[in-house]
Amino acid sequence: MDDTAAIAGLRARDERVFAELMRMYNASLLRVAQIYVATRAVAEDVVQETWIGVLNGIDRFEGRSSLKTWIFRILTNIAKTRGQRERRTVPLSSLERPDGVPEPAVDPDRFLPLDHERAPGHWAAKPEPWPEERLLAQETLGVVEAAIETLPPAQRAVISLRDLEGWSAEETRNALEITETNQRVLLHRARSKVRQALEDYFTEGG
């Protein structure tokens, strides 16, 4: 469904169009809302308020941005207001300043020390191959899902939008109102941790 059809459908009060948009965006909206508010229940409220905002605003929507960007902007505004009311400021600062706390992609102990004579910073314990036949097993997907669920909310939102929903870097950056660099740092940390979770799983299960 393209934007023109979706906007026309909403303006015509077509419930099927509304239901389809919900199915397309609810999961992403929920993940982004969770950056700003403490609980899933509040995030679900925020998503609900967002849709009401979308319905109330659709007749005045001028199409200067894509429908998706507009919907996520409404969500972000509502979620930020709710988050401030809850005095939840830590995740916000982690969105704005992802460099605040260094998080190496790989445990430094996996590398030779930097004063090593021959190969400083080279793998001391390099990654072992993963079993191809287990890669697409349902259990493996469960490991990926569980790893994503344990990420800090900003990292979880970015990896969900980019790698799960297949959004572009630019769409993701616009929806979250973050810089290109921050988007990339958050994505890098998220992917690195999910890779590590897979490695742990394949090594233990080995």
Partner 1 sequence: MITGAEQLSCQELVELVTSYLEGALPAADRERFDAHIATCDGCDRYLDQMRATIRLTGALRPADLAPNEERKLLAAFADWKAH
Interface residues with partner 1 (CB under 8 A) are 13, 15, 18-19, 22-23, 26-28, 30, 44, 47-48, 51-52, 55-56, 104-106, 108, 111, 114, 119-123, 126-127, 129-130, 135-136, 140-141, 144-145, 148, 159-160, 163-166, 169, 180, 184, 187-188, 191-192, 194-195, 198-199
Question: Smallest distance, Å, CB 4 to partner 1?
Answer: 20
Question: Smallest distance, Å, CB 47 to partner 1?
Answer: 7
Q: Would you say 89 or 113 has its CB closer to partner 1?
A: 113
Question: Smallest distance, Å, CB 128 to partner 1?
Answer: 8
What span, in angstroms and rounded, lies between the C-alpha atoms of 47 and 147? 24
What span, in angstroms and rounded, lies between the C-alpha atoms of 143 and 156? 14
Question: Smallest distance, Å, CB 83 to partner 1?
Answer: 20
Q: Would you say 95 or 190 has its CB closer to partner 1?
A: 190
Q: Would you say 104 or 205 has its CB closer to partner 1?
A: 104
Question: Smallest distance, Å, CB 46 to partner 1?
Answer: 11
Q: Would you say 92 or 144 has its CB closer to partner 1?
A: 144
Give 123's strand partners.
111
Q: What is the CA radius of gyration of the chain?
A: 20
Tokens standing for residue 133: 């036949």
Distances (CA, A) of 77 to 37, 49, 187, 188: 12, 11, 23, 26
Give 111's strand partners.
123
* Helical axes 169-176 vs 15-36, angle rounded to 10°: 70
Q: Would you say 89 or 121 has its CB closer to partner 1?
A: 121
Contacts with 84 (C-beta within 8 Å, 6 or more apart), sequence order:
none
Question: Smallest distance, Å, CB 89 to partner 1?
Answer: 26
Q: Would you say 88 or 189 has its CB closer to partner 1?
A: 189
Judging by beta carbons within 10 Å of its beta carbon (0-12, 13-18, 19+), is residue 75 exposed, middle or buried?
A: buried
Q: Could you tell me what percentage of the chain is helix, strand and coil, using 3-state DSSP and rounding each to the nearest 5?
A: 70, 0, 30
